Structure 1
Amino acid sequence: MSLPKPVMRGLLDKRMRFHVAVGAVLSIAAVIAFKYGVVERRKKAYADFYKNYDLEKEFNAMREAGVFESVRPSGE
């Protein structure tokens, strides 16, 4: 009983088609996971932060702390 000869003709093409298809599917899955796992959460965090953000209050706090050299605190 002898072993059958391996099919070598077209082997590279067959393997490449399989690996390109698997690579494409995995890359699309990674993009979707990144979009919904990172980007959407980050957008929601920024939206929540700026929903209650008071720019005047923040500016006055930094001015009182002496962060700005060209703006004096209001008490002086």
Structure 2
Amino acid sequence: MCSSVLAKTQMWGLLARPLQICIIGAFIVSLGLAALYKFGVAEPRKKVYSNFYRSYDSMKDFEEMRKAGIFQNAK
């Protein structure tokens, strides 16, 4: 009689390892996209707004709109 021992199959951890790799990958990708949005969209937008409001005169803009007839109550 021949007695050979078969290796036991792995029954746990079959999903955990690939899922852990996917979660780490998703975290890295999301951080990269957040940084890309911050430096590619948000910071340039802040700069444009600050440049606009640095030289913006609200009273001059109001007078132009009043002369154009946009406001009905302001004479």
Query: Larger C-alpha radius of gyration, 1 or 2?
Result: 2
Q: CA deviation at 1:8?
A: 6.1
Name 1:59's counterpart in structure 2.
62
Which 4+ stretches in 1 moved above 2 angstroms? 6-9
Name 1:17's counterpart in structure 2.
20
Q: CA RMSD in A?
A: 1.5
TM-score computed with the length of structure 2 as normaliser: 0.82
Tell me whether 30-39 or 6-15 shows the greater mean CA deviation. Answer: 6-15
Matches within 5 A, 1:1-76: 9-72=12-75
Gaps of 5+ in 2: 1-8
Equivalent residue letter for 1:39: A
Q: CA deviation at 1:56?
A: 1.1
Q: CA deviation at 1:9?
A: 4.2
TM-score computed with the length of structure 1 as normaliser: 0.81
Tell me whether 9-18 or 43-52 shows the greater mean CA deviation. Answer: 9-18
Gaps of 5+ in 1: 1-5
